[in-house]
């Protein structure tokens, strides 16, 4: 159900809250891993935000400032534009008939934005990071797109609300587990996160982040968490029945499920090593892509029978 | 149409949020103007600008990707009508995907998926 | 403002630089950062504090000055000469970060210094930088110890002179080659456009219509391994780079991210540093505890570069446990446990598959640490960990990494488990 203009503001605030929770959870995991009290990490995003607001911005000699700025601001903007099609319970900010395509279009924007962050700085490490992301994107994007199509086929619609409604009886995750996992991996990948964070790797001094300081860095880091959060919300709508659940109202269920998925995505960061894009390509194209296509075939056959 | 108005509104909200952050930083940061710095190169001066013709070694893969990406254009409308069109549509689509996949396997054997 | 500053100072990011010979100090600093929940920075842009562990030689000092120039601010520069100083140094750094007035003055001085040279390239610059070094030092506020603030003044100047003349001349040289390709022009015009943009943002940078933006040349083409004519970037890896052997510099020619050519050199500690060394790590160098802590540290570095955070953190905690005086046999059991985990990890095997020997060397590191700790408990002379490639020395690095991409090169270098201290101190020959 389409909501009025205030919906956009509410959605933005909600995404912000969820993203901050994600950052706090990441801080907690980090603190525990380092042998400190887990709770001491909860405030990490707050301290970090204050630190970056106080820190001076940087520009590099002969940097491509305009493009750099577009990339820096863009991640957060794209994340917000993604949530317009993610239903909260039965409400959607923009109930587009092609909501799935909209989400897909926005996530392809991330290609350009991450690359721009790397390119704009006029710095070798950042440049390597930017191109590395493109190399990674060539591997994750197709499986992601096909995984997205599965629920659309099953629902016979590209409207996200219809996809949620089509899961009244059975959540899609039950008979599309491959698409579900691949889509989750795709969310991690377009958020430059954890195992798919090679573009911001330590080996290239932070890669696309290498030259960012101050509020610019804050925007990029916040944008990453926002992308993860928006992606988690979309996973819930596509595969986990959206707001369906007993007792509590639908919007509560959407939030609860989103936070659960998000926690898993945050947690995966420390469990797995970073996948080098050149190692990823073969696996993505020769193993994952056919697996997703088989999943689609299964879905297609189930739908017509 | 109000859906697209809401999207525009969201774009506006997003830009306002970013603007507010920049504004807050101007108030709080130790200096308003950005610091002009040399790029970080482990402590050495760069001997040339990094912006250059970069060797993106995955260009064969990019070609392959384009072929599949165009395919996605067919995939979306197909997803909407496949339930009505029946098994024929499924067969047609997956024969097409199979042909593409054969191309991928061929490219793989040619080494297009390896670039190190 | 001050509330924000206090919040900001709760979790500062520290760029820790190790001078060859001061591994123990650096490890102690990292342990303290971990304990406090501070963050180890990857690059100057992300740093509030530049912590130098040890006494760098003149060339290393210049490198550090340039890195210091890249910290955005608020910023503090401090040194630690031995592990016992670390705590006090970090405490003082926070105080200096909180000093809003000094930090703002520092920022203003740098803005003024930057505005100077761009209006008059050659002559004003030195003046500008003098002013900067004089007023900049938030570290003077932080430096209680007289002995740590030694060389800052004059070295700062040397560095700035370098920046100016070296960089500028290079630019003029390359101007002849400017018309190499369409890209080059694009690069130039971006530079201009961005200048306009910055003026809007209230920046007053004066002119930038010198032929090369920033006095830096444009990349030139070169034939790559596939026979394509592509630009070559000359990028030095080290000495300031996360998880990188102290003082090591690998000068690489890069096409894309492929190392097409490499040469290696070492930056040394200052001469008096030798004595310092014997006061610091020198005494512990032969002790099995230090050796095994260092080996754990190298394993942790390699695991960090792999992005395997959980394993890296475990290795780091074991390293710190050794130094904390946890009973060696207890740590040895944990090291063995970690080793088994890593040996079993399929995903790690897969990610190092294309780098022959890297995984084995990682396991050998942990094995050696375990043996050392075990023998320490038995009071038997410790086995010094000597990886095969490590004994062949840093000179082998170019041969090993040429043709690899940057990540693979970093992983290979980290897997060698190099200890640069003996090399950097003894001259050209190590061991």
Place A131 in a pLDDT band, splitting at 50, 70 and 90.
Answer: very high
> Does residue B50 lie in a domain region?
no
Report the gap between the CA of B45 and the closest CA in chain C (Å).
7
Identify residues of B whose CB sits under 8 angstroms from chain C CBs: 28, 30-38, 40-57, 116
> Does residue B78 lie in a domain region?
yes
Which positions 53-82 of A are in contact with C (Cβ < 8 Å)?
53-59, 61-67, 69
pLDDT (tens digit, 9 = 90+) per residue, A243-291?
888 888 888 999 999 999 999 999 999 888 899 888 889 899 999 999 9
B82 touches chain A (CB under 8 A): yes
Q: B30, C106: Cβ pair inside 8 Å?
A: yes
Give chain C as a 3 state SS string. CHHHHHHHCCCCEEEEEECCCCHHHHHHHHHHHHHHCCEECCCHHHCCEEEEECCECHHHHHHHHHHHHHCCCCCEEEEECCHHHHHHHHHHHHHHHHCHHHHHHHHHHHHHHHHHHHHCCCHHHHHHHHHHHHHHCHHHHHCCCHHHCCCHHHHHHHHHHHHHHHHHHHHHHHHCCHHHCHHHHHHHHHHHHHHHHHHHCCCCCCCCCCCCHHHCECCEEEECCCCCEEEEEEEEECCCCCCCCCCEEEEEEEECCEEEEEEEEECCECCCHHHHHHHCHHHHHCCHHHHHHHHHHHHHHHHHHCCCHHHHHHHHHHHHHHHCCCCHHHHHHHHHHHHHHHHHCHHHHHHCCCCCCHHHHHHHHHHHHHHHHHHHHCCCCCCCCCCHHHHHCHHHHHHHHCCCEHHHHHHHHHHCCCCCHHHHHHCCCCC
Report the gap between the CA of B104 and the closest CA in chain A (Å).
8
Q: B37, C181: Cβ pair inside 8 Å?
A: no
Question: For the residues A206-234, what does the mean pLDDT come to?
Answer: 93
Q: A205, C313: Cβ pair inside 8 Å?
A: no
Domain ranges across chain C: 2-166, 277-426
The domain made up of C2-166 has a fold known as Rossmann fold (3.40.50)
- Position of tokens 């060859």? C20
Whether the CB-CB separation of C175 and C211 falls below 8 Å is answered with yes
Residue of higher predicted confidence among A146 and C371: A146
Q: A214, B25: Cβ pair inside 8 Å?
A: yes
- Chain B residues lying within 8 Å of A142, measured CB to CB: 65, 68-69
- Chain C residues lying within 8 Å of A67, measured CB to CB: 190
- Chain A residues lying within 8 Å of B22, measured CB to CB: 215
- Position of tokens 């690359």? A115
Q: C220, B37: Cβ pair inside 8 Å?
A: no
Beta strands in A18-70 (DSSP E): 58-60
Question: For the residues C350-361, what does the mean pLDDT come to?
Answer: 84
CA nearest to C217 within chain A: A62
What is the per-residue pLDDT for A228? Answer: 95
Candidate ranges A26-40, C181-195, C390-404; pick with highest mean pLDDT: A26-40
> Does residue B42 lie in a domain region?
no
The mean pLDDT of chain C is: 71
Is residue A173 predicted with pLDDT exceeding 70?
Answer: yes
Q: For residue C217, what are the β-bridge partners?
A: B48
Q: B116, C256: Cβ pair inside 8 Å?
A: no
Interface A:C, Cβ pairs < 8 A: 166
What is the per-residue pLDDT for C54? Answer: 86
Which positions 39-78 of C are in contact with B (Cβ < 8 Å)?
43-45, 63-64, 66-67, 69-70, 72-74
Q: A272, C308: Cβ pair inside 8 Å?
A: yes
Of the candidates C4, C9, C257, the beta carbon closest to that of A128 is on: C257
DSSP-assigned letter for residue A148: H
Of the candidates B31, B40, B57, the beta carbon closest to that of C44 is on: B40
Candidate ranges A159-173, A213-227, C292-306; pick with highest mean pLDDT: A213-227
Assess whether B67 and B22 both reside in one domain. Answer: no
Instruction: Please give the share of chain C, as a percent, with pLDDT higher than 90.
Output: 15
Residue B25 sits in which domain range? 1-34
Q: To probe the interface with C, which of A71, A129, A203, A267 has the most C CB atoms within 10 Å? A: A203
Q: B76, A141: Cβ pair inside 8 Å?
A: no
Of the candidates B43, B48, B52, the beta carbon closest to that of C66 is on: B43
Which positions 7-36 of C are in contact with B (Cβ < 8 Å)?
none
Number of domains, chain B: 2
Is residue C372 predicted with pLDDT exceeding 90?
Answer: no
What is the per-residue pLDDT for C422? Answer: 64
List the subunits that have 3+ CB pairs under 8 angstroms with B: A, C
B94 touches chain A (CB under 8 A): yes
Calpha distance C123→C412 (Å, rounded) = 45
Q: A7, B11: Cβ pair inside 8 Å?
A: no
Q: B80, A157: Cβ pair inside 8 Å?
A: yes
Whether the CB-CB separation of C216 and B48 falls below 8 Å is answered with yes
Whether the CB-CB separation of A171 and A241 falls below 8 Å is answered with yes
A39 touches chain C (CB under 8 A): no
Q: Crossing angle for the helix pair A214-239 and A65-83, nearest 10 degrees?
A: 30
Calpha distance C138→C131 (Å, rounded) = 14
> Does residue B46 lie in a domain region?
no
Interface B:C, Cβ pairs < 8 A: 131
Of the candidates C67, C217, C249, the beta carbon closest to that of B47 is on: C217
B95 touches chain A (CB under 8 A): no
- Chain B residues lying within 8 Å of A116, measured CB to CB: none
Window from A228-242, C36-50, C243-257, C259-273 with minimum mean pLDDT:
C259-273
Of the candidates A64, A202, A206, the beta carbon closest to that of C243 is on: A202
Which positions 17-56 of A are in contact with B (Cβ < 8 Å)?
52-56
Question: For the residues C316-331, what does the mean pLDDT come to?
Answer: 82
Question: For the residues A36-40, what does the mean pLDDT come to?
Answer: 82
- Chain A residues lying within 8 Å of C323, measured CB to CB: none
B20 touches chain A (CB under 8 A): no
Q: A61, B39: Cβ pair inside 8 Å?
A: yes
> Does residue B3 lie in a domain region?
yes
Question: For the residues A157-172, what does the mean pLDDT come to?
Answer: 90
- Chain A residues lying within 8 Å of C309, measured CB to CB: 33, 269-270
Assess whether B23 and B65 both reside in one domain. Answer: no
CA nearest to A196 within chain C: C307
Tokens of C126: 């030195």
Q: C74, B30: Cβ pair inside 8 Å?
A: yes
pLDDT (tens digit, 9 = 90+) per residue, C54-99?
888 888 899 999 999 999 989 999 998 888 888 999 999 998 888 8
Residue of higher predicted confidence among C207 and C254: C254
> Does residue B88 lie in a domain region?
yes
- Chain B residues lying within 8 Å of C219, measured CB to CB: 48-53
Q: C190, A212: Cβ pair inside 8 Å?
A: no
A228 three-state secondary structure = helix
Calpha distance C103→A276 (Å, rounded) = 40
- Chain B residues lying within 8 Å of A290, measured CB to CB: 101
Report the gap between the CA of C363 and the closest CA in chain A (Å).
16
> Does residue B51 lie in a domain region?
no
Q: C37, A44: Cβ pair inside 8 Å?
A: yes
Q: B44, C66: Cβ pair inside 8 Å?
A: yes
The mean pLDDT of chain A is: 91
The model's pTM = 0.83
Q: For residue A60, what are the β-bridge partners?
A: B37
């Amino acid at each position: 159900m389409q909501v009025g203009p205030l919906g956009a503001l509410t959605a933005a605030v909600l995404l912000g809250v969820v993203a901050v929770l994600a950052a706090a959870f990441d801080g907690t995991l980090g603190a525990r891993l380092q042998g400190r009290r887990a709770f001491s990490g909860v405030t990490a995003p707050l301290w970090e935000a204050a630190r970056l607001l106080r820190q001076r911005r940087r520009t590099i000699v002969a940097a491509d400032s305009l493009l750099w700025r577009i990339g820096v601001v863009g991640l957060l903007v794209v994340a917000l534009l993604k949530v317009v099609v993610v239903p909260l319970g039965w409400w959607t900010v923009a109930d587009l008939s092609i909501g799935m395509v909209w989400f897909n279009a926005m996530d392809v924007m991330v290609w350009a934005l991450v690359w721009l962050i790397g390119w704009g700085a006029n710095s070798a490490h950042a440049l390597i990071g930017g191109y590395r992301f493109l190399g990674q994107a060539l591997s994750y994007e197709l499986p992601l797109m096909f995984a997205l199509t599965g629920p659309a086929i099953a629902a016979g619609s590209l409207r996200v609300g219809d996809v949620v409604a089509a899961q009244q009886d059975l959540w899609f995750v039950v008979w599309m587990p491959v698409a579900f996992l691949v889509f989750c991996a795709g969310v991690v990948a377009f958020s430059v996160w954890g195992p798919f964070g090679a573009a911001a790797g330590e080996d290239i001094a932070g890669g696309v982040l290498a030259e960012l300081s101050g509020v610019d860095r804050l925007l990029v880091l916040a944008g990453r968490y926002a992308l993860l959060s928006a992606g988690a919300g979309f996973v819930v709508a596509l595969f986990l029945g959206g707001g369906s659940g007993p007792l509590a109202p639908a919007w509560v269920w959407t939030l609860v499920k989103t936070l659960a998925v998000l926690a898993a995505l945050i947690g995966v960061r420390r469990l797995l090593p970073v996948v080098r894009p050149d190692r990823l390509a073969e696996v993505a194209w020769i193993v994952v892509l056919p697996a997703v296509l088989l999943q689609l075939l299964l879905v297609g056959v189930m739908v017509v029978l | 149409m109000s859906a697209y108005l809401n999207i525009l509104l969201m774009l506006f909200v997003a830009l306002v949020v970013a603007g507010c952050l920049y504004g807050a930083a101007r108030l709080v940061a130790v200096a308003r103007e950005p610091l002009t710095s040399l790029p970080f190169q482990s402590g050495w001066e760069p001997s040339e600008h990094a912006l250059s013709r970069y060797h993106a070694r995955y260009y064969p893969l990019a070609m392959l990707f384009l072929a599949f990406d165009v395919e996605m254009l067919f995939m979306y409308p197909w997803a909407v009508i496949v339930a009505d069109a029946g098994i024929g549509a499924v067969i047609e689509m997956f024969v097409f995907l199979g042909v593409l996949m054969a191309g991928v396997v061929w490219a793989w054997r040619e080494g297009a998926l390896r670039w190190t | 403002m001050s509330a924000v500053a206090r919040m900001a100072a709760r979790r500062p990011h520290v760029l820790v630089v190790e001078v060859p010979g001061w591994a123990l100090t650096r490890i102690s600093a990292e342990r303290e950062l971990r304990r406090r929940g501070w963050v180890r920075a990857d690059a100057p842009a992300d740093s509030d504090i530049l912590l130098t562990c040890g006494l760098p030689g003149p060339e290393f000092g210049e490198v550090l000055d340039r890195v210091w120039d890249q910290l955005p601010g608020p910023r503090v520069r401090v040194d630690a000469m031995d592990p016992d100083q670390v705590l006090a140094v970090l405490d003082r750094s926070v105080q200096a970060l909180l000093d809003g007035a000094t930090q703002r003055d520092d920022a203003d001085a740098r803005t003024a210094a930057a505005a100077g040279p761009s209006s008059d390239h050659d002559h004003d610059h030195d003046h500008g930088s003098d002013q900067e070094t004089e007023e900049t030092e938030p570290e003077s506020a932080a430096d209680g110890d007289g002995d740590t603030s030694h060389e800052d003044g004059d070295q700062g100047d040397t560095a700035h002179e370098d920046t100016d003349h070296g960089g500028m001349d290079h630019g003029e040289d390359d101007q002849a080659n400017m018309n190499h390709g369409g890209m080059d022009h694009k690069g130039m015009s971006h530079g201009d456009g961005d200048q306009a943009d910055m003026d809007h943002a209230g920046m007053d940078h004066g002119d930038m219509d010198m032929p090369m933006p920033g006095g830096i040349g444009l990349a030139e083409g070169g034939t790559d391994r596939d026979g394509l004519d592509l630009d070559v970037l000359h990028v030095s890896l080290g000495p300031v780079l996360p998880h990188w052997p102290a003082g090591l510099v690998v000068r690489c020619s890069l096409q894309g991210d492929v190392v097409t050519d490499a040469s290696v050199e070492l930056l040394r500690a200052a001469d008096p540093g030798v004595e310092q060394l014997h006061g610091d790590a020198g005494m512990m160098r032969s002790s099995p505890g230090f050796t095994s802590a260092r080996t754990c540290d190298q394993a942790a570095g390699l695991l960090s570069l792999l992005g395997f955070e959980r394993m890296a953190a475990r290795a780091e905690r074991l390293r710190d446990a050794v130094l904390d005086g946890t009973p060696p046999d207890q740590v040895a059991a944990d090291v063995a446990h970690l080793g088994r985990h890593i040996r079993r990890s399929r995903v790690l095997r897969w990610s190092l598959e294309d780098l022959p020997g890297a995984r084995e060397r990682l396991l050998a590191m942990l094995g050696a640490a375990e043996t050392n700790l075990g023998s320490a408990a038995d009071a038997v002379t410790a086995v010094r960990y000597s990886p095969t490639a490590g004994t062949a020395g840093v000179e082998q690095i170019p041969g090993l990494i040429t043709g690899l991409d940057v990540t693979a090169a970093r992983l290979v270098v980290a897997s060698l488990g190099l200890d640069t201290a003996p090399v950097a101190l003894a001259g050209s020959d190590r061991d």
